[in-house]
């Protein structure tokens, strides 16, 4: 009898952000094929009888090709194994799940997709940044800084929409990516957040403008970059001094209506005391 492949999202790194279904599948899996970015604390949830395969590919170093991963998935499932293909974040976002799904379908292998918390959501939560906001951003765009050969996406068209940019794998050349964003039409004062080692020991969040980003020392990988006016809603003490001096609160925050509501809230709090 054929087994089954479960494409499972491991989330951004914190084991507490795993779904209950992901934990259940890990505990009963016969084999687990995992990315490099999946931390040991999550792998420890797998059954002691599980066969663990590290099939990660990071920073241009490939321990295994994508075709070899396909072969492993198909061979294990064809042997009757319950296989967990464990991917960092969500399997459907920059996780090459589409290629693995095609390979499984061609071989008539049963599969299931279990979503996970993608890095964009984890990074926004870690930095206390809303990815959308009624006043400044009505959408969010997920991009990758690492492009396949010959690809040249039109960031200018996306930038004109006013959407928040979340850039996965921005790389270490911050000057180059800042230049691309400026060329797309974003202002030098556009705020951005760099999140490093999300959900892991050593997590860092640094807030900059695009102008400052070009001169920022790269943080340890993996990193993720959030770009847009929503970054101004991050905690004020997280900003660099230069950014704080130049940054202005969104205009609507200073409106008379908001001030009146604030005073009313203060009165209610005083009454309770």
- Active site positions, annotated: 35, 57
Instruction: Kindly report the backbone phi and psi dihedral angles of residue 94, in degrees, each rounded to the nearest multiple of 5, phi listed first.
Output: 55, 35
What is the C-alpha to C-alpha distance for residues 50 and 83, in angstroms, rounded to an integer? 9
Instruction: Kindly report the backbone phi and psi dihedral angles of residue 260, in degrees, each rounded to the nearest multiple of 5, phi listed first.
Output: -65, -40
What is the C-alpha to C-alpha distance for residues 33 and 209, in angstroms, rounded to an integer? 39
Residues 6+ apart with CB under 8 A from 49: 30
What is the C-alpha to C-alpha distance for residues 156 and 248, in angstroms, rounded to an integer? 25
Both tokens of 251, joined, read: 């205009």
Cβ atoms within 10 Å, residue 202: 8
């Amino acid at each position: 009898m054929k087994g089954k492949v479960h494409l499972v999202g491991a989330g951004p790194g914190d084991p507490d952000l795993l779904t209950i279904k992901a934990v259940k599948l890990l505990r009963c899996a016969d084999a687990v094929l995992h990315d490099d970015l999946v931390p040991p604390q999550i792998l420890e949830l797998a059954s002691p009888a599980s066969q663990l395969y590290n099939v990660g590919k990071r920073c241009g170093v490939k321990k295994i090709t994508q075709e070899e991963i396909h072969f492993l998935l198909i061979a294990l499932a064809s042997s009757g194994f319950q296989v967990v293909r464990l991917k960092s974040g969500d399997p459907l976002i920059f996780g090459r799940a589409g290629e693995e799904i095609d390979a499984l379908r061609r071989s008539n292998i049963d599969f299931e997709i279990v979503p996970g918390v993608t890095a964009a959501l984890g990074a926004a939560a870690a930095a206390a940044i809303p990815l959308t906001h009624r006043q400044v951003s009505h959408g969010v765009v997920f991009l990758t800084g690492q492009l396949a050969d010959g690809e040249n996406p039109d960031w200018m068209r996306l930038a004109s929409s006013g959407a928040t940019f979340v850039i996965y794998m921005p790389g270490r050349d911050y000057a180059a990516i800042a230049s691309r964003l400026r060329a797309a039409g974003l202002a030098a004062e556009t705020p951005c957040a760099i999140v490093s080692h999300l959900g892991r020991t050593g997590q860092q969040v640094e807030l900059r403008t695009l102008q400052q980003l070009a001169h920022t020392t790269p943080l340890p990988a993996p990193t993720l970059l959030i770009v847009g006016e929503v970054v101004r809603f991050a905690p004020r003490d997280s900003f660099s001094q230069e950014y704080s001096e130049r940054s202005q609160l969104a205009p609507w925050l200073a409106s008379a209506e908001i001030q009146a509501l604030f005073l009313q809230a203060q009165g209610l709090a005083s009454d309770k005391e």
